[in-house]
Amino acid sequence: MSSSTEYNLSGKTILITGASSGIGRSTALELARTSPSLKLILTALGDDVAVLVKQLDVSRKADIDAFWQELEKEEGFKDVGVLVNNARFISGVERPPDVPREVIESVYKTNVMGVIHMTQAALAVFRKRLEGGKGDIVMLGSIARRQAYVGGTIYCSSKAAIQAFGESLRKEVVDTRIRIMTVDPGQAPIEFNDIRHRGDREKADAVYAINVFAVGRRENVVVMDTLLYPSH
């Protein structure tokens, strides 16, 4: 990453959900490497920069509310400047009407409701700042919302919902210094292994670099939408 990215990220407090593995973990590591002076709030990680590790189930609004209240007590970490909505849930390839109810609820609670609740909580903080509000929110989408696949009815629709949410929100905060950005990973191995096997695969997708690029732009530049494919 360029020195300008390091400068633009310097001193910022960045909150990443779902950072214990995969894209979230790789994003956190790249951020730490790019700008050692920033602060990270993660679900799990190591010691390269000032790090606050918190457990959080984004599918539970009560947990989200408690999480943000606890941040107010964390000296040095409460001034969140960037939220990366990375946490997601993928399960199975069943087709309607055979999709288990618990799968539908779990996918939507994490992928849709979790993102909305986390975003609302962040906006409540961002809106208190000067010039109508300031801060960055990144939505981790998926190529699945653009190219639906057989067996992906629930997951694909959950990612399409987040895209619409992000587009509407971007227009609603246009008079502020709040940036809303969307990144769609392509057909990376981690995504489809998780879908088919319901497993937790540690292999990270290079999409993390795009997340860092997006939040590292000058504040008058918004990376509205990004589609990223693996080269092979």
Domain coordinates in residue numbering, the chain: 3-228
Query: Is the pLDDT higher at 82 or at 33?
Result: 82
Per-residue pLDDT band at 84 (split at 50, 70, 90): very high
> Using CA atoms, how far apart are residues 214 and 6, in angstroms rounded to an integer?
12
Sheet of 39-42: strand order equals: 50-53, 39-42, 13-16, 82-85, 134-140, 177-185, 225-228
Please tell me the predicted confidence (pLDDT) of residue 106. 92
Please tell me the predicted confidence (pLDDT) of residue 223. 66
Rounded mean pLDDT of the chain? 79
Q: What is the mean pLDDT of residues 110-127?
A: 95
Please tell me the predicted confidence (pLDDT) of residue 228. 60
The DSSP output letter for 176 is T
- 2-11, 44-53, 158-167, 208-217 — which one is most confidently predicted on average? 158-167
The owner of tokens 């700042």 is 129
| Residues 181 and 222 sit within 8 Å (Cβ to Cβ) | yes
> Using CA atoms, how far apart are residues 209 and 108, in angstroms rounded to an integer?
26
**Catalytic (active site) residue 39:** no
**Catalytic (active site) residue 109:** no
Q: Which of 12, 39, 108, 155 is catalytic?
A: 155
Please tell me the predicted confidence (pLDDT) of residue 103. 93
Least reliable range by pLDDT among 29-43, 123-137, 153-167: 29-43
Please tell me the predicted confidence (pLDDT) of residue 25. 78
pLDDT at 41 over 70: yes
pLDDT at 118 over 70: yes
pLDDT at 8 over 80: no
Least reliable range by pLDDT among 34-43, 94-103, 114-123: 34-43
CATH number of 3-228: 3.40.50.720
Q: Which of 149, 159, 203, 229 is catalytic?
A: 159
Q: What is the mean pLDDT of residues 175-184?
A: 90
> Using CA atoms, how far apart are residues 117 and 45, in angstroms rounded to an integer?
23
Please tell me the predicted confidence (pLDDT) of residue 210. 65
Token pair belonging to 51: 């790090």
Alpha helices in 11-140 (DSSP H): 22-34, 61-71, 101-108, 115-126
Query: Is the pLDDT higher at 216 or at 33?
Result: 33
pTM: 0.79
Q: What is the mean pLDDT of residues 184-209?
A: 51
Please tell me the predicted confidence (pLDDT) of residue 204. 45
